[in-house]
Amino acid sequence: MKSYRDLIVWQKSMLMVTLVYTLLKQFPDDEKFGLTSQIKRSSISIPSNIAEGYGRKYTKEYNRFLQVARGSLFELQTQLQIAVNLKFANEKDVLEIKNISIEIEKMLNTLIKKLIPSN
């Protein structure tokens, strides 16, 4: 692999960021600095940490950044559920994002496991 851009998990997370930003256009304006901002930050953090970790010199550091990306993914999943609960979006609106997030979660888990040295 020549670049983090070749990682499918990074590509899917970039797609998810685009879908998230599209979804957020329907949120109320008074949420601009609240939940909307939090969702943007957590979604952007996922591909950003995958890329930053890839650029690190040591496998241990890469693994740590992948774990941060996974944490941001869980944060995003939670925030999307909050948005549904508050009726800022409905289940149908977030379904594609949820499905992609589950794929990303599985990919991150697999990549993290492969980077952990077996004892």
Which tens digit of pLDDT belongs to each residue from 65-80?
999 999 999 999 999 9
pLDDT, average across residues 22-44: 94
Query: How far is C-alpha 115 from the chain's CA centre?
Result: 19
Domain 4-113 fold is: de novo design (two linked rop proteins) (1.20.1440)
Q: Above 80 in pLDDT, residue 7?
A: yes
Q: For the chain, count helices (H), then strands (E).
A: 4, 0
Place of tokens 């149908």: 92
Concatenating the DSSP letter of every residue in 67-85 gives HHHHHHHHHHHHHHHHHHH
Q: Give the whole-number percent of the chain exceeding pLDDT 90.
A: 88
Q: Give the whole-number percent of the chain exceeding pLDDT 70.
A: 97
Whether pTM > 0.85 for this model: the answer is yes
pLDDT, average across residues 29-42: 93
pLDDT of residue 57: 84
List the domain boundaries for the chain: 4-113
pLDDT of residue 119: 47
pLDDT, average across residues 102-112: 97
